[in-house]
Amino acid sequence: MAYKKRLPVIIAVGDIRGFSIWEQQLINPETEFTPFMNSFDKMIDEFELHTGYFTKKLGDGILIILELENNENRRKATYFLGQTWNFLKNVQKMMDECESCPKKIRMRSTFGDAWKRESSTGIDYVGRHINRAFKLLRVNPEIPYICHESVRSIVMSSKNPYHNFKFTRFIAERRIPDGLTKEDMVRLYRVDIKKK
């Protein structure tokens, strides 16, 4: 197993809100749990195939990573944000159309460096910025997509012509989750798509 040098990466993590309560209250697991999870897993597989991003299933969640290592960072980061936003919306639509499914999904995105680990079983990434993305899932869980300033600053650099995102700064809840700083909490943006 080898750890490569730290690489700049953009990270998105998502999970289904209320999954544990939903799973605990199932009346008929065979007709409710299995079809939903199969649909969710299929959407993750299709997303990975379509984008080519490093994608890892995490039970009722997902980890998505893209390495950024050249002057195309702005375009790649913008496309990444768009693809992960579309994934979130597609999963939400699937849940809205399902009578006995959980009802909400959330996603968080950040940028930083991570160690890339390569082994005979595949590739993985580790690092504090990935941890930060996971910890951001605890912040204002009712907001579907939140990105850290580190992502927004790449997308918004140099009058970026590629994006149609609306970034809305918001005041995060007062309690700071373990592993996040006060600085992290004031550098968060809700992500939406501008209406044409």
What does the pLDDT look like over 111-125, one tens digit per residue?
A: 999 999 888 788 899
Token output for 179 = 């592993």
If 0-12 CB within 10 Å is exposed, 13-18 middle and 19+ buried, where does residue 119 land?
A: exposed
Question: What value does the mean pLDDT take over residues 161-172?
Answer: 81
Burial class (CB in 10 A: 0-12, 13-18, 19+), 156: middle
Instruction: Give mean pLDDT, residues 173-181.
Output: 79
Task: Give the pLDDT of residue 104.
Answer: 93
Average pLDDT over residues 31-56: 93
Q: In this predicted model, which residue has the larger pLDDT, 107 or 165?
A: 107
- Fold classification of 2-193 (topology level): Alpha-Beta Plaits (3.30.70)
Q: Which ranges constitute the DSSP H helices of the chain?
A: 19-24, 29-51, 73-96, 128-135, 149-155, 182-185
Q: Note the pLDDT of residue 64.
A: 97
Q: Which two tokens stand for residue 103?
A: 């009802």
Q: Using N-to-C axis directions, what is the helix angle for 73-96 and 29-51, rounded to 10°?
A: 160
Confidence bin at 159 (pLDDT 50/70/90): low
Q: Tell me if 6 sits within 8 A of 115, measured CB to CB.
A: yes
